[in-house]
Structure 1
Amino acid sequence: MSRPLRAAVLAVVATAIALVSAGPAVAHGFSSTVYVHVTKGEPGHVRTALELEYDLFVVSAADAGRDDALFTDGTTAFDGGDPGEQATALEEHVDSAMAYINNGFSISSSGTACTPAKVGAVTVGQREGVPYAGLTLDWVCPQRGNSHEVRSVLFPDSEGYVKSTKTIITYDLDGRSGSAALDGNQPSFSTAQAWYQRFWEFFRLGAEHLLTGIDHILFLLALIAGSRRLREIVLAATSFTLAHSVTFMLAALGVVDVPGAVVEPIIALSVAVVAGWYLFRIWRRGDHATDLATSGDGHFALDRAGWLRLAVVFCFGLVHGLGFAGALGIDEAWSWTLLWSLLVFNVGIEAVQLGLIAIIFPLLMLLRRRSPRAGLWATGLVSGGVSLMGLIWFVERV
């Protein structure tokens, strides 16, 4: 084992406890997503179908309504994992559940608040392997106008349970259809919004998803650390982009559907494999490993290992695209508005990806040129830490 590789291994071991303590939840942060489908009802009525993360809904509603019985019954039902018991627990405390929704979710027509009433029984299903409670509400709007405003501040940061809750809205109302993304910074949406305002929301949502998805960032960091030349990282990033764009669009449009229980462990494994690839190259080169830290000015051409690396990155990119689509969670019939929303979401992801490459890669290249050995140690340390974190996530997600 070469000296740089030994140094990287020792440094990784020294930081292993901190990485392990981060746990699997760090991959996407302690966040949640609320899904809402809004449609026109009878004259003067609006129908909404809400889906909320079950255990978070139970804890938040019980705390807000001081309903200890809801917390006890809901927690017991959640631990049991039976959808029927979960739905029954919420139905028996529907007043507390509805009070919490009414306090954080509202619809208005031309500035006048609409009044909600629950329709049917509470249901419990699954989204990405997580139990979600479903409630259908009928809203009576006394003021009939040409536009409606939807506002959501459910599961705010101030509760202390999660951070940066997103509300994904799909709507077919007021002669318009499309999608919108709400959060603490942008808690409301109007069907009268201009197209560029809706698209900006999805661009921002895509950018935020990559920034808060540590597993995706670590995958990109592994690509940067394992690339010696700008052309090499450009090819790797392009391969990753093309792959995840394809599966993201297909999954978001409902053409393909892969369970999150399959996607998430593979994403974690991809982080470990791509980062470990560079460590393997260091081990193979031995005393000549410092050659990997220099960029070289000669003719650049991919060898067999280079093409194989691109193929691996492309395959893992396909899986990451499924993860991006799962985070967006749109389940809507095809429309041009939906297509453009998805494209803008993807552009937001790419903008952050290119920004990170533009910042990190030049700094890494400067270090490599000034001190090849220091550059090798730095990239070895980064690759070792990223690979270890990927393996930890993989084991915990399986």
Structure 2
Amino acid sequence: MSKWVRRTVIGITAAVIAFLGTVQPASAHGFASTVYVHVTGDGGRIRTTVALEYDLFVVSAADLEKDDPLFRAGNAAFEAGDTKEQAAALNAHAKPAVRYVTERFSVTSDGRACTPTQVGDFTMSRREDVPYADLLLDWACPEQGSDHQVRSELFPDTERYVTGTKTIVTYEIDGRSGSAALDADHPSFSVGQSWYERFWEFFRLGAEHLLTGIDHILFLLALIAGSRRLREIVLAATSFTLAHSVTFMLAALGLVRAPERIVEPVIALSIAVVAGWYLWRLWRHGGHATDVGTGGDGHFSLDRAGWTRLGVVFCFGLVHGLGFAGALGIEEAWSWTLLWSLLVFNVGIEVVQLAIIAAVFPLLTVVRHRAPRAGLWVTGVICAGVSVMGLVWFVQRAFGT
């Protein structure tokens, strides 16, 4: 083994061990939340529907004015799973609840503040299989305003309850319609923004979702490590992309829905299965684990193992797509406004995915070519670590431990 190969093997192995050591097993996505806002209006009158995750909203609003009665009533209703009691708890303590929203969410017209007024009572809905509180607000804006800006700083990191809160906004104002994604680094947007600015927002959100979604990165690493040829990883990545794109479309059209309590454990299990597949080949074939079997003279030159793996990856891609769609809360039937944003979000995911493949697979190929035994050790270490993390996440998500 040459000195360069030896150093490369040591470097890759050390990097993988260090990376896996930093992974938090409780939840690959961390404790995050998404706020959903729909904005309509024309001229000087704007109406917003703000949907906030109920249990987090109760804690944050109660903490704002040290309102223990709101916390006790809201928490008891949440534990009981009674939506009528949940709405009643908020309506009985509407002042701090509304104040929490209006101090962190605002609408301006040509740079001048619009004044909010609550319309009706709090109501309840469900998103991503969890209860959400819906608040309807009317905003009185200065007359003749042509450029409306929406700003959201709801559930900030400083509250220490969640991190990385996203606010997904859809709007229909003055004949303009579209969507936007807000976060701590980009808390506001203007309805007069150009199409490419909106494109960039959701492209960035998709890229960040993959980079911060450790489970998806580990799934991709398992695919790379278990691929014997460039053709296999390209076909596997393409299969994965097609699968979760199909799920994206079906979710955006309201034709497919799956509860998070099912999707998230299956995603974790898919990581363990894909990584374990390669470990099984190592155990069964040893140094010949990367050999390509006969029967690979078809259109894609895949042997039986290659075709089987491709089918498994496609099936798991369908489930991962539900996880991606859940990140944007695509649950409304025929949500064409968000459909475009969803596809751009998908593009952001794919660009990062291809970048990871381009960076990792050639390096592994060189190691396998120059030192086959060392290559087996590196890919074995990667898949063993990924498989363990997948199983840990599966148990935690399936049984709530």
TM-score (norm 1): 0.88
Which structure 1 residue ranges, 5 or more long, are not aligned? 1-10
**1:390 maps to which residue?**
390
Q: In 2, Cα distance between the equivalents of 1:262 and 1:333?
A: 21
Q: In 2, Cα distance between the equivalents of 1:33 and 1:84?
A: 22
Q: In 2, Cα distance between the equivalents of 1:351 and 1:19?
A: 26
CA displacement, residues 195-247 of structure 1 (integer Å, 9 cap, x when unaligned): 11011001001111111212211111110110122121111111111111111
Q: 1:331–1:81: structure 2 CA closer, same or farther, 3 Å change rule?
A: closer
**2:29 maps to which residue?**
28
The reply to whether residue 229 of structure 1 matches residue 229 of structure 2 is yes
Q: In 1, Cα distance between the equivalents of 2:166 and 2:301?
A: 44
Report the AA paired with residue 32 of structure 2.
Answer: S
Moved more, 320-329 or 197-206: 320-329
Q: Secondary structure at the match of 1:161?
A: coil
Report the AA paired with residue 174 of structure 1.
Answer: D
CA contact (8 A) 1:179 1:338 kept: yes
**1:4 maps to which residue?**
none
CA displacement, residues 125-154 of structure 1 (integer Å, 9 cap, x when unaligned): 221122211111111113331221100011
CA contact (8 A) 1:272 1:386 kept: yes
Q: In 2, Cα distance between the equivalents of 1:258 and 1:315?
A: 15
Instruction: Show the 5 A alignment for 1:1-398.
Output: 22-25=24-27, 27-40=28-41, 44-285=44-285, 289-292=286-289, 301-330=301-330, 338-398=338-398
1:21 Cα deviation from its structure 2 partner:
9.1
Q: In 2, Cα distance between the equivalents of 1:127 and 1:340?
A: 20
1:375 Cα deviation from its structure 2 partner:
2.1
1:376 Cα deviation from its structure 2 partner:
1.6
Moved more, 114-123 or 251-260: 251-260
CA displacement, residues 66-116 of structure 1 (integer Å, 9 cap, x when unaligned): 223322322222222222222222222211111111111001111111111
CA contact (8 A) 1:49 1:137 kept: yes
1:345 Cα deviation from its structure 2 partner:
1.1
CA contact (8 A) 2:35 2:165 kept: yes
Q: 1:276–1:384: structure 2 CA closer, same or farther, 3 Å change rule?
A: same
1:45 Cα deviation from its structure 2 partner:
1.7
**2:9 maps to which residue?**
none
Q: In 2, Cα distance between the equivalents of 1:19 and 1:67?
A: 40
CA displacement, residues 266-319 of structure 1 (integer Å, 9 cap, x when unaligned): 21221111111001111111xxx22335899x9993111110100111111111
Report the AA paired with residue 75 of structure 2.
Answer: T
Q: 1:336–1:87: structure 2 CA closer, same or farther, 3 Å change rule?
A: closer
Moved more, 384-393 or 193-202: 384-393
CA contact (8 A) 2:34 2:52 kept: yes
1:119 Cα deviation from its structure 2 partner:
1.3
Moved more, 196-205 or 378-387: 378-387
Q: Secondary structure at the match of 1:258?
A: coil
Q: In 2, Cα distance between the equivalents of 1:333 and 1:124?
A: 18
Amino-acid identity (%): 68
Q: In 1, Cα distance between the equivalents of 2:361 and 2:344?
A: 25
Moved more, 194-203 or 126-135: 126-135
CA contact (8 A) 1:65 1:100 kept: no
Q: 1:131–1:336: structure 2 CA closer, same or farther, 3 Å change rule?
A: closer
CA contact (8 A) 2:257 2:331 kept: no
CA displacement, residues 331-364 of structure 1 (integer Å, 9 cap, x when unaligned): 5675876443222111100001001111121222
Report the AA paired with residue 352 of structure 2.
Answer: V
Q: 1:123–1:335: structure 2 CA closer, same or farther, 3 Å change rule?
A: closer
CA contact (8 A) 2:108 2:141 kept: yes
Q: How many residues align?
A: 377
CA contact (8 A) 1:37 1:50 kept: yes
TM-score (norm 2): 0.87
CA contact (8 A) 2:128 2:329 kept: no
Q: In 1, Cα distance between the equivalents of 2:345 and 2:23?
A: 32
Q: In 2, Cα distance between the equivalents of 1:335 and 1:80?
A: 32
Report the AA paired with residue 357 of structure 1.
Answer: I
